[in-house]
Amino acid sequence: MAESHVVSALRHKRGGIAGEIIAAERRITDLRAALVHVDATLKLFAGSETNPEAIPPRLPRPVRELPSSLGRGGLTRAVLDVVRQAGGGVVTADVAVQAALRLGIDPETGPRRDAFIETVRNALYRQRDRGILINLKDGARVLWRVAD
């Protein structure tokens, strides 16, 4: 017979997943109702010959998950610290891995890894635009260092 704490944990996990499915189905129902209202309003303003079904759907941007304890400017501070300590040029992916380790984020988590690297890249370019960092091309790679 299985351990009672394992069974209890699995029952709890299953209940949570089932609840998320119910919440997602309710959200889908609400979104479909909102879409019907937008279609009706569009036909009201654009005319009855308008076909809302022909409008292509736009997928939402992925949500970037950063720790809530990070605070304002925490990612930028971590990125700048990594570039400063590197001394010479450092590539974006290496900055992202080192910044993730400093912030307590697992740097090897599939799709979230790519989203985090994009967030770090945006932070690097913002600091370049402010004159704090410069980027150098080394073939296909972009190297970052502190401006003189």
Domain count, the chain: 2
pLDDT on residue 90: 84
pLDDT on residue 139: 80
- Does residue 142 sit in the same domain as residue 72? yes
Distance CA 10, CA 18 (A): 12
* Percentage of the chain modeled with pLDDT above 90: 32
Distance CA 61, CA 48 (A): 31
Q: Are 88 and 144 in contact (CB under 8 A)?
A: no
Q: What tens digit of pLDDT does each residue of 27-44 get?
A: 999 999 999 999 999 999
- Does residue 89 sit in the same domain as residue 141? yes
pLDDT on residue 136: 85
Q: What tens digit of pLDDT does each residue of 10-24 get?
A: 999 999 999 999 999
Q: What tens digit of pLDDT does each residue of 119-137 get?
A: 888 999 998 999 988 888 8
Residue at 123 is within a domain: yes
Residue at 61 is within a domain: no
Q: What tens digit of pLDDT does each residue of 61-108 get?
A: 665 566 656 677 788 888 888 988 887 788 888 888 888 888 777 767
Residue at 117 is within a domain: yes
CATH code at position 142: 1.10.10.10
Distance CA 70, CA 127 (A): 18
Residue at 60 is within a domain: no
pLDDT on residue 95: 87
Check whether 55 has a pLDDT greater than 60: yes
Domain that holds residue 26: 4-54
